[in-house]
């Protein structure tokens, strides 16, 4: 849940010096990587799991989903 919230924040955040979340900059870097990475076996930390997390969130329609509900 925490990583999902961070990634969703970073997708919307336009502040390069964001102090709202300490890891916003790292999340923005990861999102930039995800935008071009097509490697299912990517060795970049959190690449595959973050992609799966964002894909799940984008497709999830379960209002009681324990993973997505806090981010809605």
Q: For residue range 5-18, what is the model confidence (pLDDT) as tens digits?
A: 999 999 999 988 88
Confidence of residue 58 (pLDDT cuts 50, 70, 90): very high
Residue 64 located in a structural domain? no
Residue 69 located in a structural domain? no
Residue 39 located in a structural domain? yes
State the pTM of this model: 0.85
Residue 29 located in a structural domain? yes
Mean residue pLDDT of the chain comes to 91
Residue 70 located in a structural domain? no
- In the chain, the number of structural domains is 1
Q: Say how far apart CA 35 and CA 37 lie, in whole Å.
A: 6
Confidence of residue 19 (pLDDT cuts 50, 70, 90): confident
Domain that holds residue 16: 3-59
pLDDT over 90 percentage in the chain: 71
């Amino acid at each position: 849940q925490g990583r999902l919230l961070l990634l969703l924040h970073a997708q919307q955040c336009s502040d390069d010096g964001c102090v709202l979340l300490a890891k916003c900059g790292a999340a923005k870097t990861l999102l930039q990587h995800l935008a071009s990475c097509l490697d299912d076996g990517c060795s970049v930390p959190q690449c595959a799991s973050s992609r799966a997390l964002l894909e799940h969130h984008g497709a999830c329609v379960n209002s009681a989903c324990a993973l997505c509900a806090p981010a809605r």
